[in-house]
Structure 1
Amino acid sequence: MDDFIEILKKITPEVVEILERRYDVLKNVKYHQPIGRRMLSEKLKLSERIVRNEVDILRSLGLLKITDNGTILTNEGEELLEKLSNMVYDIKGLESLRQTVKDILGARDVFIVPGDADTNPYVLKELGNVASKVILPLLQNVRIIAVTGGQTVKEVVDNFPVCSFKDILVVPARGGIGQEVEKQANTLAANLAKKLGGRYKLLHLPDTMDEEIYNLIAKKEEVQDVLNDINNADMLIFGIGNAIEMAKRRKFSQEMINKLCQVGAIGEIFGYYFDREGNIVYSTTTVGIKLEKIKNIKYMIGVAGGAHKAEAVLSLNGIKHSSIFVIDEGIARRIVDIKR
Structure 2
Amino acid sequence: MNSDLSLLEALVPDVLKILRQRYLVLEQISLHAPVGRRNVAQQLRLSERNVRTETEYLKKLGLIEIRNYGMVLTEKGEKTLQDAAPLIDRLFNAGETEVKLARKLGIDRTIIVPGNADLQDRVYEEMGEQLNSALNLLLPLGHSIITVLGGIDVAKSASYLSKQLGNNRQLEFVPGRGALGENVTTQSNTIVQEMAAKTLGTYKTLYLPEQVSEVAYRSLIRENSISSVLQDISQSDAVIHGIGLAQEMAKRRGYDSIRLSELRDKKAVTECFGCFFDDTGKIVERITQVGLQFENLKKIPHIFALACGSRKADAIKAYMPNAPHQTWLITDEGASNAILKEK
- Shared fold (TM-score greater than 0.5)? yes
Amino-acid identity (%): 33
Is 1:211 the counterpart of 2:214? The answer is yes
Instruction: Using the TM superposition, give the Cα deviation of residue 320 of structure 1 relative to its aligned residue in structure 2, in angstroms.
Output: 5.0
**Contact 1:128–1:152 (CA<8 Å) still a contact in 2?**
no
**Contact 2:147–2:239 (CA<8 Å) still a contact in 1?**
yes
Give the partner amino acid of 2:223: K
> Aligned partners of 2:224 and 2:149: how far apart in 1?
22
Structure 1, unpaired ranges of 5+? 1-93
Q: What is residue 255 of structure 2 aligned with on the other side? A: 252
Q: What is residue 154 of structure 1 aligned with on the other side? A: 155
Q: What is residue 279 of structure 1 aligned with on the other side? A: 282
**Contact 2:297–2:324 (CA<8 Å) still a contact in 1?**
no
Counterpart mapping for 1:1-340 below 5 A = 95-140=95-140, 143-163=144-164, 164=166, 165-316=168-319, 317-338=321-342, 340=343
Partner of 1:245, secondary structure, is: helix
**Contact 1:127–1:155 (CA<8 Å) still a contact in 2?**
no
Q: What is residue 75 of structure 1 aligned with on the other side? A: none
Partner of 1:153, secondary structure, is: helix
Give the partner amino acid of 1:154: A
Q: What is residue 30 of structure 1 aligned with on the other side? A: none
Instruction: Using the TM superposition, give the Cα deviation of residue 275 of structure 1 relative to its aligned residue in structure 2, in angstroms.
Output: 1.0
| Count of aligned pairs between the two proteins | 246
Partner of 1:98, secondary structure, is: helix
**Contact 2:146–2:172 (CA<8 Å) still a contact in 1?**
yes
> Aligned partners of 2:169 and 2:99: how far apart in 1?
36
> Aligned partners of 2:148 and 2:209: how far apart in 1?
15
Give the partner amino acid of 2:187: Q
**Contact 1:231–1:290 (CA<8 Å) still a contact in 2?**
no
Q: What is residue 33 of structure 2 aligned with on the other side? A: none
Instruction: Using the TM superposition, give the Cα deviation of residue 214 of structure 1 relative to its aligned residue in structure 2, in angstroms.
Output: 2.0
> Aligned partners of 1:329 and 1:206: how far apart in 2?
35
Instruction: Using the TM superposition, give the Cα deviation of residue 287 of structure 1 relative to its aligned residue in structure 2, in angstroms.
Output: 1.2
TM-score, normalised by the number of residues in structure 1: 0.69
Structure 2, unpaired ranges of 5+? 1-93
1:228-283: per-residue Cα shift (whole Å, max 9, x none)? 11122110001111111111122211111111111111111111111111111111
Q: What is residue 5 of structure 1 aligned with on the other side? A: none
Q: What is residue 41 of structure 1 aligned with on the other side? A: none
1:96-150: per-residue Cα shift (whole Å, max 9, x none)? 3222211100110001011111122222232222222222222226621000112
> Aligned partners of 1:179 and 1:245: how far apart in 2?
11
Give the partner amino acid of 2:111: F
> Aligned partners of 2:104 and 2:315: how far apart in 1?
14
Instruction: Using the TM superposition, give the Cα deviation of residue 301 of structure 1 relative to its aligned residue in structure 2, in angstroms.
Output: 0.3
Partner of 1:324, secondary structure, is: strand
Instruction: Using the TM superposition, give the Cα deviation of residue 166 of structure 1 relative to its aligned residue in structure 2, in angstroms.
Output: 5.0
**Contact 1:105–1:321 (CA<8 Å) still a contact in 2?**
no
**Contact 1:132–1:157 (CA<8 Å) still a contact in 2?**
no
**Contact 1:145–1:169 (CA<8 Å) still a contact in 2?**
yes
Check 1:113–1:195 CA distance in 2 against 1; reply closer, same or farther (3 A cut). Answer: same
Give the CA RMSD over aligned residues. Answer: 1.7
Partner of 1:278, secondary structure, is: coil
**Contact 1:152–1:303 (CA<8 Å) still a contact in 2?**
yes
**Contact 1:166–1:196 (CA<8 Å) still a contact in 2?**
no
